[in-house]
């Protein structure tokens, strides 16, 4: 479903992603771990082209993301094409980024009604189903500022799910939450994974990665240093730097 080949990105002279190769198949749950500044968030944003990448390719369902190729030359894809590609991927942010001037229900139906042209009645029905799944049915008429962090993040997940994406991207979804609220968000994510959603999750929650992911990717300094099933990466990492990082983080 997601095929990243030799992808790299720089901000001016600063290279933040170097030669990234990653394949994600349907149903995969990939956890990306690593120290701050390793490029994890940037990688996520390149997948849905919120940030453009410079070299290599990101292909989503076979289609090149963000660029079009004509006669061997590459040009930026028209905005409409990129918007469509983005609408098939959902993203959940560390700071939730809910629309504060709308209720939770309005937040959730905004995408389907405005981007996919779904009728309002149908969108509301779908939204209620999703809100029920994440346990926020009683909050549908409330504005985001009235909710706790955990509730806001679950609402953000609902908003992303409303677009019926094939791939969900999570950028440190629990890093901004008080510890006692982390569990409810992880539970919602675990349920998504059990339901078969393809997910790429940048996280510091190691036990979650170990239990829910079927693949763990360790990044450092813009490179993918190690990749493998959680049992292998966590219990017997082959790379010294992976071991160092895990030792620092898991004690």
Partner 1 sequence: MDYNWQFHVIYDYWPVFARGAMVTLQITLGATLLGLLIGLPSGIARMAKSAWWRMPFSCYVEFIRATPALVQIVWIYYCFPILFGFQLDAMTTMVVALGIHSGAYIAEIVRAGINAVDKGQFMAARSIGMSYLLTLRRIILPQAGQKMIPPLINEFANLMKLSTLGSMIAVYELLQESNNLIASTYRPMEIYTFLALVFFAITFPWIWLSRRLEIRMQRHA
Angle (deg, nearest 10), helices 120-133 and 104-114: 130
Residue 58 within binding range of partner 1, rule CB under 8 A: no
Residue 79 within binding range of partner 1, rule CB under 8 A: yes
Distance CA 21, CA 5 (A): 5
Select from 95-103, 121-129, 134-142, 229-237 the region that touches partner 1 (CB under 8 A).
95-103
Select from 63-71, 77-85, 121-129, 186-194 the region that touches partner 1 (CB under 8 A).
77-85
Tokens of 119: 């009728």
Residue 201 within binding range of partner 1, rule CB under 8 A: no
Q: In the window 30-49, what residues touch partner 1 (CB under 8 A)? A: 48
Contacts of residue 175, Cβ cutoff 8 Å, sequence gap at least 6: 94, 203, 204
Residue 163 within binding range of partner 1, rule CB under 8 A: yes
Q: How far is CA 234 from CA 123, 183, 231, 246, in A?
A: 42, 21, 6, 7
* Shortest CB 248 distance to partner 1, Å: 29
Q: CB nearer to partner 1: give 203 or 242.
A: 203
Distance CA 177, CA 26 (A): 29
| DSSP letter for each residue of 150-182 | HHHHHHHHHHHHTT--SEEEEESTTTTS-HHHH
- Three-class DSSP category at 249: helix
Among residues 62, 100, 117, 179, the one that binds partner 1 under rule CB under 8 A: 100
Helix (H) or strand (E) holding 244: helix 240-250
Residue 118 within binding range of partner 1, rule CB under 8 A: no
Q: CB nearer to partner 1: give 10 or 87.
A: 87
Residue 75 within binding range of partner 1, rule CB under 8 A: no
Judged by the rule CB under 8 A, the positions of this chain that interact with partner 1 are 48, 50, 79-80, 83-84, 86-91, 93, 95, 97-101, 110-111, 114-116, 156, 159-160, 163
């Amino acid at each position: 479903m997601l095929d990243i080949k030799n992808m790299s990105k720089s901000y001016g002279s600063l290279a933040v992603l170097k030669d990234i190769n990653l394949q994600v198949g349907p149903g995969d749950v990939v956890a990306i771990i690593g120290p701050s500044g390793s490029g994890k968030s940037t990688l996520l944003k390149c997948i849905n082209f919120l940030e453009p990448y410079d070299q290599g390719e990101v292909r989503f369902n076979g289609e090149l993301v963000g660029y079009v190729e004509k006669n061997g030359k590459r040009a930026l894809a028209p905005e409409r094409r990129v918007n469509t590609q983005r609408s098939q991927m959902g993203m959940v942010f560390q700071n939730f980024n809910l629309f504060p001037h709308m209720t939770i229900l309005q937040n959730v139906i905004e995408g389907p009604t405005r981007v996919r042209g779904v009728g309002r009645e149908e969108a509301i029905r779908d939204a209620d189903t999703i809100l029920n799944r994440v346990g926020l049915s009683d909050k549908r008429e409330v504005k985001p500022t009235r909710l706790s962090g955990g509730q806001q993040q679950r609402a953000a997940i609902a908003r992303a799910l409303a677009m019926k994406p094939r791939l969900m991207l999570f950028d440190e979804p629990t890093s901004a939450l008080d510890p006692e609220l982390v569990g409810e968000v992880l539970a919602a994510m675990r349920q998504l994974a059990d339901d078969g959603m393809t997910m790429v999750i940048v996280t510091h929650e190691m036990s979650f990665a170990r239990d829910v992911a079927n693949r763990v990717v360790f990044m450092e300094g813009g490179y993918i240093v190690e990749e493998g099933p959680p049992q292998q990466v966590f219990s017997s990492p082959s790379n010294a730097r992976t071991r160092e990082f895990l030792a620092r983080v898991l004690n």
